[in-house]
Amino acid sequence: MIPQVLAHAVAPARGAPLGDLVPASIVAVLAVLLVAALGFGHRRGVFGALGRFSAAVEDRVGLPGWAAIPAAIGGSSLLCAAFGYYWDVSWHIDRGRDPGPFANPAHWFIIIGLAGIALAGVVAIILGDDQPTGASVRFGAHWHAPVGGVLLAICGVVALAGFPLDDVWHRIFGQDVTAWGPTHIQMIGGASLATLAMWALSVEGRRVAASRGRRMPVAHAWLLDVTLGGAFLMGLSTLQVEFDFGVPQFRQVYHPLLIMLATGIGLVAVRIRAGRGAALAATAFFLAMRVGLAVVIAPVLGRTFMHFPLYVVEAIAVELVAMRWSTRRQLDFGLRSGLAIGTAGLAAEWLWSQFAMPFPWGRAMWPEGAVLGLVGALAGGVIGGMIGRALVADRRLGQPTPRAWAALAWIAAVAAIGWALPVHAAAGTARITTTDVARADGRWAKVGVQLDHPQHAVGANWFVAMSWQGRKNGDGGLVLAPFHRTGPDTWATTDPVPMFGSWKTIIRLHDGRNLEVAPLYLPADAAIPAAGVTTGAEATRPFVRDKTVLQREAVGGSPALQRVAYALLLGVAGTWLTTLGWGLRRLEATTSPAPAPERAGIPHRTAA
């Protein structure tokens, strides 16, 4: 891949300028060296400040310093990264690609947040414990790293590594402007699953504190668990982002599938761990955070509005199941909760979509969407049951896993995701007419179309004129103008769409596995390079695959090279997820820690 990277080192649409990479690399190396020096000094006993601070924190809050300090670092870092992530998506929708990774202010929040997550895990490992915690990983005679800290460090490093790898990917293959790009998923997934690692670290820390006679008050422990459960639910919801903003580049059936998976996993896990009312409280935390982010990003910062799922009925369903069946049989509870989520919860999200989503769930999505949603909820419920069982952190309270349950849950989830993936275009044409509407800022026009395959537009998942990456009322904007039927094979928009300046305007049609577009206006882009597209009063355009236009910056790299790159990133993801499973099993397989009653402390060197 190295010749490919160097060949595109200065391409303006492929990766960061080298002038940005050099100082960024220097800062990264210096930061790593500084953390390594502090850690080495602490473990060797020549730097006592970190140990004294950890002891002071433990005396103050009751939790070991290796749990409390990373919790503060990781929690603030996750909030920082989440804000940067959603702001970044809205930024690109409204303004297009960046001249460099540091020219976008949202990227700074992402970088700082991901670095903070990695730092939190490394700090947990460095501080460690003098005695085994019951699940810790032994690094030396007096160094037992908490397994939650190890998982947090892995998640943070995987996510942070996605940032430079993303630049390499852009240099080779161009800019894939979708949240579901492989390196984007690496960053999003690393940060999202760091919430679960922090939860494991918290549970591990509380077990050690209890063994030292410093048990956290029940109300405080419950509040901590529902907060971490709500954060986990937020992390599980991040891949819904394109549906939240109204620019999905994949089939609509993914929307209910992702929602059902998230609620099945997150709400079941938090209800098992925290008990009565936890599913509702975690949902309340999720909604408070998402409403806050939506308000800051749209009205305050002037970006496109971010929608979000409701999750309330799913939480009520989980609480009702828990009233009837014990949560101590975690997998049975997860399966029953998945059934309730995949029926009543799915129906509630369908109703919510009619009022609160850019693309309501219409009849074109059924029955496939119902089947995939139910499969996702059942699989998510079982996975959530296994996570909840691990977070109980006592093998005496865990339901033995029936043969093949875990494998079937993962296979069902992966199969549902894979089933929805293939898309194509029906290869039809649109005869387009435009009617200009007087606007002071540029050309706006209502659009009419006549289709030679009208059956694809009747009851389609969506059939809209979409404009993005322009300026609207002084701010960036996204314009969605639905088509309304005017004849047997003709449709028209009621609202005008922009066709000037930096705007990109297309006709989008999604029907089943057809996901296609016909361009109306695209500015010329010499950096890709790509010619401009304009539409006069009348034109005839073929429909092409959606990705061809929405990701027209994604050019370059041979198919063979792309397969190698995907294989490498899949290997990273597989190893990372396997490690998470190992860590949770390690947490679950132990009963009680056996640390010394009081901290022994790291011996410190004295001057001769």
Task: Return the axis-axis angle of helices 18-44 and 105-127, rounded to nearest 10°.
Answer: 20
Task: Check residue 472 and give its pLDDT.
Answer: 60
Residues 293 and 221 in one domain: no
527 lies in a domain? yes
Residues 416 and 502 in one domain: no
2 lies in a domain? no
Residues 32 and 152 in one domain: yes
Residues of the chain with pLDDT under 50: 1-11, 594-608
46 lies in a domain? yes
CB-CB contact of 251 with 423 (8 Å): yes
Domain count, the chain: 3
Which of 367, 396, 422 finishes a domain?
422
257 lies in a domain? yes
25 lies in a domain? yes
Q: Which helix (H) or strand (E) holds 9?
A: none
Q: Residue 446: give its domain's CATH number.
A: 2.60.40
Q: Which residue has the tokens 């947090």?
A: 152
Residues 458 and 363 in one domain: no
Residues 289 and 401 in one domain: yes
Please report the sign of the dihedral spanned by the C-alpha atoms of residue 427, residue 428, residue 433, residue 434. negative
Q: Is 493 in a helix, a strand, or coil?
A: strand
- Our measurement of the distance from residue 443's CA atom to the centroid of its chain's CA atoms, rounded to an integer in Å, reads 37
Task: Check residue 15 and give its pLDDT.
Answer: 64
327 lies in a domain? yes
Question: What is the domain range of residue 291?
Answer: 251-422
Task: Return the axis-axis angle of helices 182-211 and 368-392, rounded to nearest 10°.
Answer: 30
CB-CB contact of 389 with 331 (8 Å): yes
454 lies in a domain? yes
Residues 546 and 590 in one domain: no
**Beta carbons within 10 angstroms of residue 360's beta carbon:** 16
Task: Return the axis-axis angle of helices 182-211 and 65-95, rounded to nearest 10°.
Answer: 160
Which of 366, 401, 422 finishes a domain?
422
How far is it, in rounded angstroms, from Cα 456 to Cα 564?
A: 36
Which of 379, 396, 422 finishes a domain?
422
How far is it, in rounded angstroms, from Cα 47 to Cα 54?
A: 13
Can the peptide bond before residue 367 be classed as cis, meaning omega within 30 degrees of 0? Answer: yes
Residue among 188, 341, 351, 352 at smallest CA distance from 269: 341
Q: Is 480 in a helix, a strand, or coil?
A: strand
Residues 521 and 600 in one domain: no
Residues 284 and 378 in one domain: yes
79 lies in a domain? yes
Q: Which parts of 558-601 fold into alpha helices (H)?
A: 559-589
Residues 165 and 81 in one domain: yes
Residues 297 and 183 in one domain: no
Task: Check residue 405 and give its pLDDT.
Answer: 78
Residue among 151, 294, 169, 72 at smallest CA distance from 587: 151
CB-CB contact of 423 with 546 (8 Å): yes
How far is it, in rounded angstroms, from Cα 577 to Cα 357?
A: 31
**Beta carbons within 10 angstroms of residue 147's beta carbon:** 25
